[in-house]
Amino acid sequence: MGFPPDPQCLVSPIVRRVYNWFGEVLERFMFPKIAGTLVSGIDHPDRVALVVYLPYCNYRCLWCHNYELVLGKFREVPLEDLRWELENNMFVDMIVITGGEPTVYGDGLIRLIEFVKEVRPDLPVRVDTNGSRPDVMEKTVDLVDGFAVDVKAPPQKKRLYSRIIGREFDEEALVKSIKIACDLPLTLFRTVRYPILTDEDFSLIKKFLNDICPSKPYYVNEFVFVNSPADWRGGTSTYLPKNLQDHTFYPEGFEKG
């Protein structure tokens, strides 16, 4: 058995409970790793954003553009470098925290936002998310000015949604996430024009968003093909740190949903 051991291999339920508790404590105190920063004039309408990239994600989307980041292949940016960038970059007028999936860090994401706000209290903060962790969004809602929530497919088509994200789609979590995001001024919703989505699918997505949060902008981003690695979606995650795992990924071509 390797270390840390797989909890499924632990015989005693007590040992397993202690192991899971230890994972939750780690999530609570772990500060996100910074995988990069970028100044962008196209990330948010009419704003120049300092985009902060965090590694790891709990989805394995088809054609993911950031698969290297998701797989943990990145050179870590020291926190002091981020502080320097924040203190000295006077051209940006917002901060975007993106990934990967920032919410996988749980309370660690809150500490990162607090750090950013402490250094640049003048700048609004937006967090990008796939909408799978409304519990984390709920905790950050008083600190941020908006979320960019990705709606990957029509939620009415659960099987199609699951096929795109590589795991079981949780519609309830997405609905909760959209409702939380809806109250904030800089929130927007996005979908990539995946080649497997039809015009009817986009109509369904718009109807879904209109029913829950009609007041926020919705953008369709153009699709660009990415050849992600062959083992990108195979079995359980071997990439997320153990304490951030909560799922099993579907292999390519699965028929679940």
Residues making contact with ligand SF4 (CB under 6 A): 57, 59-61, 64, 66, 70, 99-101, 130
CB of 114 to ligand SF4, least distance (A): 23
Give the residue with the Cβ less far from ligand SF4, 130 or 177: 130
Give the residue with the Cβ less far from ligand SF4, 130 or 187: 130
CB of 86 to ligand SF4, least distance (A): 23
CB of 142 to ligand SF4, least distance (A): 24
What is the side-by-side order of every strand in the sheet holding 188-192? 36-44, 47-53, 94-98, 125-129, 146-150, 188-192, 218-221
Give the residue with the Cβ less far from ligand SF4, 39 or 226: 226
CB of 55 to ligand SF4, least distance (A): 10
Give the residue with the Cβ less far from ligand SF4, 192 or 204: 192
CB of 11 to ligand SF4, least distance (A): 34
Give the residue with the Cβ less far from ligand SF4, 33 or 60: 60
CB of 29 to ligand SF4, least distance (A): 24
- What letter represents residue 233's amino acid? R
Give the residue with the Cβ less far from ligand SF4, 92 or 164: 164
Angle, helices 199-212/171-182, rounded to nearest 10 degrees: 60
Contacts of 229 (CB under 8 A, 6+ apart): 67, 71
CB of 175 to ligand SF4, least distance (A): 17
SS (H, E, C) the chain: CCCCCCHHHCCCHHHHHHHHHHHHHHHHHCCCCCCEEEEEEEEECCEEEEEEECCCCCCCCCCCCCHHHHCCCCCCCCHHHHHHHHHHCCCCCEEEEECCCHHHHCHHHHHHHHHHHHHCCCCCEEEEECCCCHHHHHHHCCCCCEEEEECCCCCCCHHHHHHHHCCCCCHHHHHHHHHHHHCCCCCEEEEECCCCCCHHHHHHHHHHHHHHCCCCCEEEECCCCCCCCCCCCCCECCCCCHHHCCCECCCCCCCCC
Give the residue with the Cβ less far from ligand SF4, 100 or 120: 100
